[in-house]
Chain A
């Protein structure tokens, strides 16, 4: 009869089985030796992008104004007034702040763990 000591002895003396010879190579092929993803760095900084965006917006606005034949000075004055009153409005400033905070938070958030579906020690 086998007793628990026999089972323990047999189990502890059991050797691990040898993996297939090409297992290690196949793992390394998809990890360490896998071709790296080519990532192209974005050529512009955030400030540069903002400047270019603003310049483009002004250009579009000017082009539209020219096409519609609007009075230049009146358009500029009304736009400046509208901008000034908007920036003086606390509600508008609050929304601008909320939007900027959200943009910063999203740019800092790292979604890789969620996408990988694997968490350290909790996979």
Chain B
């Protein structure tokens, strides 16, 4: 069981063999980085937030409840580190407002990214922050609703609503992109 493995690695770390924490880093750094990247939309800041999340987790490892999942815990720490960074960013610029849809790259820019995956990533980046996190955790990382709710500190119903609205926004944006490409082809 993966959860047991995580728990035993934590126990080993707490017993003084801190190199066991390195295995946890290897196991989750990519996923945590992707959550930070999708939330912050800045690779350099995502790297810093990922590092900060693991540092906080390492320092607070004794407070980890054995019955909890390490993945939920580290995602939660990372997400809130990202939120702190977005808040700090908002103090200097008004670029990120969590409750409004970000204009993001328009269809013209999306069209330049011909690859579907690139277009989809760009469309995800254009979503409001709260939708980006849900999409990243659910679709890209295969997390369950209850775990996402715990990470984001949201009711499960809200998670489902965010997911539905996120997909609706993606559908519209990608449909607009496809129409634009089809229109250019007809010309």
Contacts and interface: CB of A to CB of B under 8 A. Distances in A.
Contact of B175 (A2, A112, A123): A2
A24 B26 contact: yes
B55 A4 contact: no
A2 B54 contact: no
A121 B68 CA distance: 6
B30 A2 contact: no
Contact of A120 (B25, B30, B65, B135): B65
Given A27-B54, A116-B60, A120-B73, A11 B135 contact: yes
A7 B171 contact: yes
B64 A116 contact: no
A7 B167 CA distance: 7
B59 interface: yes
Contacts, number: 130
Contact of B63 (A3, A4, A13, A113): A113
Interface residues of A, number: 36
Chain B interface size, as a band, is: 35 or more
Interface stretch (A28-36, A42-50, A75-83, A94-102): A28-36
B15 to A, nearest CB: 14
Given A12-B139, A16-B30, A32-B18, A123 B77 contact: yes
A89 interface: no
A74 interface: no
Given A16-B31, A19-B30, A113-B60, A32 B22 contact: yes
